[in-house]
Amino acid sequence: MIKIAIQKSGRLYEDSLRLLKDCGLSIEDGLDTLKAEVRNFNAEILFLRNSDIPQYLEDGVADVAILGENVLIEKGVNIEIVERLGFSKCRLSVAMPKGNEYDGPQSLEGLKIATSYPKTLQGFLDENGVTASIHLISGSVEIAPNIGLAHAICDLVSSGSTLFKNGLEEKQIILKSEAVLAVNKKSLVQFGDIINELSFRINAVLKARKNKYILFNVPNEKIAEASKILPVLKSPTVLPLIEEGWSSMHSVISDDDFWDVIARLKAIGAEGILVVPIEKMVV
């Protein structure tokens, strides 16, 4: 049985749990706040703090985990990322009070910078030959400049609204991060089959989320043209309609070129266009 660690509460919790459930894992959440059994998969879920997960993974307390890539990098542990999960996207950035000039990393020379990510920041400063003093704070880093604790901060940003509310401006991106599936290397040897199965399912769910199933009606003489518009998996399905001279075409399109494809299909006379979500996709 493998132990899968996910965040106990916070930004990653809901998406992580939903991903595992979409993979068909039936998780008995409720009673125990630390762990949950999975009825139909050879696994147990551990609910832990995101920032503690790298250590638990390294120690083998957890075999697999869903966590923010940024904490793996900060802890510098020897853990393998097997899948990038596409949610909880954020960046670790240096920000300064509005109006402060910034002409590149050298502008940080001699400053005091508050952060919860001292190693990652130090790495960035070293790479750029900059000496600055790092002030470690575990939370609410964005208030540090306002209370005179630091000249700048280095913190996670997604929309930038927290920075804005605190009169700060993002000056420099240090790292881009998203949620990842990470594994302990020994577990990969010991539980390769189960971990591969989980990773296979996650792939199928993520691929499905990025694509839509599309069906529409076209006059028969437009079938060839419509096929060219569709960026198909193999080749589109064509079914005859009862109405003479018309067919229904079915295919899969990616979210990215979705509106473009629809506009072009309409332009050649496609009608009754339906777009449906896909639950799992194995190609």
- Contacting positions for ligand ATP (CB under 6 A): 7, 10-12, 49-51, 68, 70-71, 88, 90, 156-158, 177
- Measured from the CB of residue 195, what is the shortest distance to ligand ATP in angstroms? 22
Q: Which is nearer to ligand ATP, 10 or 269 (CB)?
A: 10
Distance, in Å, from the CA atom of 47 to the CA atom of 79, rounded to the nearest integer, reads: 19
Q: At what angle do helices 13-22 and 192-210 cross, to 10 degrees?
A: 100
What are the angstrom distances between the C-alpha of 41 and each of 12, 23, 28, 37, 181? 22, 10, 12, 9, 17
Which one, 10 or 240, has the nearer CB to ligand ATP?
Answer: 10
For ligand ATP, give the closer residue by CB, 7 or 107. Answer: 7
Residue (7 or 172) nearer to ligand ATP, CB: 7
CA-to-CA distance for 148 and 123, rounded, in angstroms?
A: 25
DSSP 154-167: EEEESSSHHHHHTT
> How many CB atoms within 10 Å of residue 45?
25
What's the order of all strands across the beta sheet hosting 133-136?
A: 133-136, 112-115, 152-157, 90-97, 168-177
Closer to ligand ATP at the Cβ: 50 or 251?
Answer: 50
We find the least distance from the C-beta atom of residue 24 to ligand ATP, in angstroms, to be 25
Single out the residue of 258, 254, 281, 264 nearest to residue 228, CA to CA: 264
Supply the minimum distance, in Å, between the C-beta of residue 7 and ligand ATP: 5
